[in-house]
Amino acid sequence: MNYAIKNDILCLLDTGHFHPTENVADKISSMLLFNDRLAFHVSRPVRWDSDHVLKLNDDLQDVADELVKCNGLDRSYIGLDYFDASINRVAALIIGARNMEKALLKALLTPWDLLTKYQDILDHTRVLALQEELKTLPWGEVWDEYCLREGASLESEWFKDVIEYENTVLKKRG
């Protein structure tokens, strides 16, 4: 990271290649202070292996939250790439890309200004209460509406299209 900054090279954080106990999101706020832009290869680590399809888990949400609350979205490049050959390739792309977008949507729906206000007056009780309240808000409704407006399939719909594509196109390449 220091070499990249010193030589004006775009630093890329590959979330699949850190120590299993490291939180990659923790690095974002400080790196945005010293880098004009940041690049990410967002994938899911499994032990010491990388590049598994993203799940909508805490690790992914932490990255999205940091990018949004630090106003870093316009200065960041997010790349997705999955090498897990044990599952359908089209489904892998869909699941991973949609989970990245879901995490960003959840981050964009979070009232960071309110959380910041409570934090700044040291009202940690309200911060905790609001953080927990946010978990049960119906963000899935917003996601469904977003999919409808973008002409994308709803969660319950896309899988059958993938299976049909597998049967009518992919298997013929056999």
Distances (CA, A) of 148 to 31, 103, 142, 152, 153: 36, 18, 10, 6, 7
Q: Tell me: does residue 51 bind Mn ion (CB under 5 A).
A: yes
User: Which token pair is 85?
Assistant: 């050959």
Which one, 4 or 147, has the nearer CB to Mn ion? 4
Closer residue to Mn ion in complex, CB, 63/162: 63
Any contact of residue 14 with Mn ion (CB under 5 A)? yes
Hey, what's the torsion of the CAs at 61, 64, 69, 72, to 10 degrees? Answer: 160
Provide, rounded to whole angstroms, the least separation between the CB of residue 79 and Mn ion: 9
- DSSP sequence for 76-109: EEEE-----TTS-HHHHHHHHHHHHHHHHHHHHH
Instruction: Tell me the window of 34-42, 60-68, 107-115, 151-159 that interacts with Mn ion (CB under 5 A).
Output: 34-42
* 16, 31, 63, 100: which one binds Mn ion (CB under 5 A): 16
Cβ at position 41, least distance to Mn ion in Å: 5
**Residue 59 touches Mn ion, criterion: CB under 5 A:** no
Phi, psi of 83, deg, nearest 5: -110, 15
- C-alpha separations of 108 from 50, 102, 131 in Å: 27, 10, 14
Contact residue for Mn ion among 41, 108, 142, 158 (CB under 5 A): 41
Closer CB to Mn ion, 82 or 143, in the complex? 82
Site size toward Mn ion (CB under 5 A) is 6
Nearest approach in angstroms of CB 60 to Mn ion is 14
Taking contact as CB under 5 A, which single stretch among the options 49-57, 107-115, 124-132, 141-149 is the one that binds Mn ion? 49-57
Shortest CB 47 distance to Mn ion, Å: 14
Q: Burial-class residue 130 by CB neighbours within 10 Å (0-12, 13-18, 19+).
A: middle
Distance CA 128, CA 103 (A): 20
Q: Contact positions toward Mn ion, by CB under 5 A?
A: 14, 16, 41, 43, 50-51
